Structure 1
Amino acid sequence: MIDNPRSPRVRAVAKLAKREARSETGLFLVEGPQAVSEALAFRPELVLEIFATPTAWEKHSGLASAAANADLDVEFVSEQVLDAMADTVTPQGIVAVCRQFLRSVEDVLAGGPRLIAVLEEVRDPGNAGTIIRTADAAGADAVILTGRSVDVYNPKVVRATTGSMFHLPVARGAELEDVLEKVAAAGLQVIAADVKGGDLLAARNSGALAKPTAWLFGNEARGLTDEHYALADWVIQVPIYGHAESMNLATAAAVCLYESAFAQRS
């Protein structure tokens, strides 16, 4: 059992909370039994190490067989060591070190997707991770984060996806103009979601949402620019019928993605 929170091995894992360390090593941290379980179930080849407290490992017994199937042994650690490794204040007793799996825009568009989400300058890790999780739930084919958005391997993003990042392709790093040019070439229309846009119900009634679509979501505070609008086929807003001042980006994205999911399946 590892019981020294200051050991070089523990420090190396803890450093993965920093972008510089993730870039240097090509690794990232996955926290919690659910996310680790999804990694083992869908992308076991990416999992390099698993660390757990004996209590947490016993509580989540299903992980043992999944780890064995992936030919991985668990490394038991003390509560103090787990606390030092994890990015969360109250970790759930299990973390894994995984290899990053970079995807290009060309890769995610090669399979003829019908629904994707494009994130431009989305900086909040919770929003980015929740949109990836929502896109997964809505049956979207991919998520693309431009270079101005948060790092998809940020621990807060990874936690917010709750394992969905292992279910669907996620590309990152490209510039928006290049992304949308390739999206259009792949036969998808671009719908920008913004408060300055037209009526979502009108778009629904026109049948436009049933077409292969890339939803474009912008920065939490500033939204999208006029230049971004010019790159889109439609600009649509999610209406607010009550007295709320605004809507959280991830919530609005959920409405948009599910509108397309419903239309494409009707």
Structure 2
Amino acid sequence: METPLAASNARVKDARKLSRRSARAERRLFLADGPKAVEGALAHALEDGASCVVEVFATIAATEQYAGLAAAARAADVAWSLVDDRALASLSDSVTPAGLVAVCRFLDVPLDSLFAGRVAERGTSEAYRGPALVAVCADVRDPGNAGTVIRTADAAGAGAVVLAGSSVDAYNPKTVRATVGSLFHLPIAVEPDPAAAVAAAQAAGLTVLAADGEGEVDLFDASFSDTVLAGPTAWLFGNEAWGLPAELAALADHRVAIPIHGRAESLNLSTAAAVCLYASARAQRG
């Protein structure tokens, strides 16, 4: 068996630099920590067919425990490098590292490509063939929230997630970990201009719904669910602290409120996103 690499090894030190956003952006590489993330990364191929994974660093114990992942890496011609516990801990920001971290290539796609499969403009009778459910996060700053929205969108069967405006980096280690592998399951787009994301979704035939506590439509109104929610929709979610700017919410086709029946002031972002996305998923599945 090969000698595990130490924390001082040049490859380990080079990978450790990816904990910084500037290094990730420059090299278009990021770290995926833990078995679920590594499994998702190994199963994900980029648009050009290349593997998403450049290299996996793993302890001896993790290599034995996750022998199936090691075999999958070998089958994909991805390097599986043994490291000691200290080296692995230097690559992980988890309190209790699971023993394996993958160096992955960026996987976000251009905004326009999300809707490339569309057939009809809104209001026409042709069948829509693009993503029927999309989550757009505008200025979402908390990595745990962003990762949870991605995970929830995946669970609800959404076709894509857009991180718009000054949203947190999709490849922040905490964001990646919070997705629990879902980052690799559905297309992710990064768009600096939230208004452009709204316009692209509308041009593709989706109805854009702004999640807004002051919205004029009740999410659980039966007629709304049977008509609007049953069609292709893009949900627009705002910042954790101040929600959606009025000018951005005004661009949506509807401003939708989740009713609060108790004394709570509001729902947090990830919970509100789960309620909205599953409401659409239920309506679309009849």
- With the shorter chain as reference, the TM-score category is over 0.9
Name the residue aligned to 1:94: 100
Divergent runs of 4+, >6 A: none
Name the residue aligned to 1:133: 151
Q: 1:162-187: per-residue Cα shift (whole Å, max 9, x none)?
A: 11111110000330111111111101
**Residue 201 of structure 1 pairs with residue 220 of structure 2:** yes
Name the residue aligned to 1:248: 268
Instruction: Please point out which of 169, 181, 199 is paired with 1:181.
Output: 199
> Is the CA contact 2:201–2:234 (under 8 Å) kept in the aligned structure 1?
yes
Q: 1:49-99: per-residue Cα shift (whole Å, max 9, x none)?
A: 011000011111211221122112311010001011112222110000011
Name the residue aligned to 2:9: 7
**Residue 18 of structure 1 pairs with residue 36 of structure 2:** no
Q: 1:3-23: per-residue Cα shift (whole Å, max 9, x none)?
A: 432333222111111100101
Q: 1:193-227: per-residue Cα shift (whole Å, max 9, x none)?
A: 01111311126445211111010000000001210
**Identical positions, percent:** 53
> Is the CA contact 1:31–1:159 (under 8 Å) kept in the aligned structure 2?
yes
**Residue 232 of structure 1 pairs with residue 252 of structure 2:** yes
Q: Normalized per residue, which structure has more helix?
A: 1
Secondary structure in structure 2 of the residue aligned to 1:216: strand
| Alpha-carbon distance in structure 1 between the residues aligned to 2:103 and 2:261 | 45
| Alpha-carbon distance in structure 2 between the residues aligned to 1:93 and 1:244 | 40
Secondary structure in structure 1 of the residue aligned to 2:236: strand
> Is the CA contact 1:2–1:81 (under 8 Å) kept in the aligned structure 2?
no
| Alpha-carbon distance in structure 2 between the residues aligned to 1:77 and 1:173 | 37
Structure 1 residues 52, 234: closer, same or farther in 2, change over 3 A?
A: same
- Larger deviation: 236-245 or 184-193? 236-245
Structure 1 residues 183, 209: closer, same or farther in 2, change over 3 A?
A: same
Secondary structure in structure 1 of the residue aligned to 2:139: coil
Unaligned runs of 5+ in 1: none
> Is the CA contact 1:105–1:174 (under 8 Å) kept in the aligned structure 2?
no
Name the residue aligned to 2:186: 168
Name the residue aligned to 2:69: 63
| Alpha-carbon distance in structure 2 between the residues aligned to 1:6 and 1:94 | 17
> Is the CA contact 1:14–1:85 (under 8 Å) kept in the aligned structure 2?
yes
Over aligned residues, Cα RMSD in angstroms? 1.4
| Alpha-carbon distance in structure 1 between the residues aligned to 2:54 and 2:5 | 20
| Alpha-carbon distance in structure 2 between the residues aligned to 1:102 and 1:206 | 33
> Is the CA contact 1:52–1:82 (under 8 Å) kept in the aligned structure 2?
yes
Please report the TM-score for the alignment, with normalisation by the length of structure 2.
0.89
User: Offset at 1:242?
Assistant: 2.4
**Residue 147 of structure 1 pairs with residue 165 of structure 2:** yes
Secondary structure in structure 2 of the residue aligned to 1:143: strand
Unaligned runs of 5+ in 2: 118-129
Name the residue aligned to 2:124: none
Name the residue aligned to 1:41: 43
* AA in 2 matched with 1:4: A
Report the count of equivalent residues: 266
> Is the CA contact 2:44–2:52 (under 8 Å) kept in the aligned structure 1?
no
Please report the TM-score for the alignment, with normalisation by the length of structure 1.
0.95
Secondary structure in structure 1 of the residue aligned to 2:264: coil
| Alpha-carbon distance in structure 1 between the residues aligned to 2:188 and 2:276 | 19
